[in-house]
């Protein structure tokens, strides 16, 4: 299940938007991510072809099981990394921006170690 960073960002964004509203459309994604409608349309076409996203007759987007697994993994990384960076003194906005960059390239091993350290810091 290999996917590029940009694809991960789209899947994570669909997941985040679906937590706020059951009906996520391409236009919602475009506005949320700050990308043009043609760019979003192209990316969604690739994600649909790869089996990560489906849409119904009204254009509502839904993650497939594989798409949801990737989105949840990236979302967890984003959340945990943001919290860890905040715990060590980084302001929340910067922590979130940095987490967004790190979440796509960090190894599972390093992520788990950071998550473990964050738990230790939270419980002090």
Share of the chain above pLDDT 70, in %: 98
Helix ranges restricted to H, the chain? 5-20, 26-33, 37-49, 65-87, 92-102, 108-122
Condensed to tens digits (0 to 9), the pLDDT of residues 101-113 reads 999 899 999 999 9
Mean pLDDT rounded to a whole number for the chain = 94
- As a whole number of angstroms, the distance between CA 47 and CA 108 comes to 23
Given this model, what pLDDT does residue 1 score? Answer: 56
Structural domains in the chain, CATH included, are: 5-69 (1.10.10.10), 72-122 (1.10.60.10)
Per the model's pLDDT, the better-predicted residue between 1 and 35 turns out to be 35
**pTM of the complete model:** 0.89
- As a whole number of angstroms, the distance between CA 76 and CA 11 comes to 13
Condensed to tens digits (0 to 9), the pLDDT of residues 31-75 reads 999 999 999 999 999 999 999 999 999 999 999 999 999 999 999
Condensed to tens digits (0 to 9), the pLDDT of residues 76-122 reads 999 999 999 999 999 999 999 999 999 989 999 999 999 999 999 88
Given this model, what pLDDT does residue 3 score? Answer: 83
Looking at the DSSP bridge assignments, the partners of residue 115 are none
């Amino acid at each position: 299940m290999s996917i590029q960073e940009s694809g991960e960002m789209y899947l994570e964004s669909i997941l985040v938007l679906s937590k706020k509203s059951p009906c996520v459309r391409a236009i919602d994604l475009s506005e949320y991510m700050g990308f043009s409608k043609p760019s979003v349309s192209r990316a969604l076409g690739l994600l649909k072809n790869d089996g990560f996203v489906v849409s119904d007759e009204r254009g509502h987007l839904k993650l497939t099981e594989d798409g949801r697994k990737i989105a949840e993994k990236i979302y967890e990384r984003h959340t945990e990394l943001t919290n860890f960076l905040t715990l060590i003194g980084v302001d929340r906005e910067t922590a979130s921006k940095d987490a967004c960059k790190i979440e796509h390239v960090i190894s599972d091993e390093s992520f788990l170690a950071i998550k473990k350290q964050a738990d230790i810091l939270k419980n002090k």
